[in-house]
Structure formats: structure tokens, C-alpha cells
């Protein structure tokens, strides 16, 4: 699983060149349009914690818990 800071050009998300060619998989996208207030952004992030927990808490990723 990767956390990638990237940008949206109005039509598509631009993936950094060094990450192109990764195998297909699910993507979780949080879009910040630059006009949101920090408190609103934090509220949306908090609202998504349960979805992220489902993605991160699994047997395959458990090996990273001890790093």
C-alpha cells in the first residue's frame, strides 16, 4: 500500500512517473480542492478513519506493525 501526494489536472489524477507501472489495485482518494478550511478538512478525514482502518488492518499488513 502506498500513500502518494499527487495532483488532479481537472480530468485525471497524475501519478508520479516513478510509480507508473504498479500493478492494478484499489485506490482510496481524498481530494482537497485548496479552498477548504483546515477544520473542515480535518472533519472529513476523521469521517473516513473507519474506511482507512478496514484497508490498513488486515493480516497481510500486520507484518508492518512491528517495524
Tens-digit pLDDT profile for residues 2-60? 777 788 888 988 888 888 888 888 888 877 766 667 777 778 778 788 777 777 777 77
Are the C-beta atoms of residues 6 and 19 closer than 8 Å to each other? no
* Inside any domain, residue 1: no
Half-sphere exposure of 15 (CA within 13 A, CB side): 10
* Inside any domain, residue 12: yes
* Inside any domain, residue 25: yes
Instruction: Name the phi and psi angles at 14, rounded to 5.
Output: -95, 115
What's the confidence (pLDDT) of residue 30?
78
Collapsing DSSP states into helix, strand and coil, what is residue 13? strand
Give me the domain span that covers residue 49: 7-66
* Inside any domain, residue 24: yes
Is the torsion defined by CA of 7, 5, 24, 43 positive or negative?
negative
Find residue 8's DSSP bridge partners.
Answer: 13
* Inside any domain, residue 11: yes
* Inside any domain, residue 38: yes
pTM: predicted TM-score of the whole model, two decimal places = 0.38
* Inside any domain, residue 2: no
Domain count, the chain: 1
Amino acid at each position: 500500500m502506498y500513500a502518494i501526494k499527487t495532483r488532479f489536472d481537472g480530468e485525471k489524477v497524475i501519478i508520479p512517473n516513478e510509480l507508473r507501472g504498479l500493478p492494478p489495485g484499489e485506490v482510496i482518494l481524498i481530494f482537497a480542492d485548496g479552498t477548504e478550511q483546515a477544520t473542515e478538512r480535518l472533519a472529513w478525514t476523521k469521517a473516513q478513519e473507519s474506511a482507512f482502518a478496514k484497508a490498513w488492518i488486515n493480516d497481510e499488513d500486520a507484518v508492518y506493525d512491528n517495524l
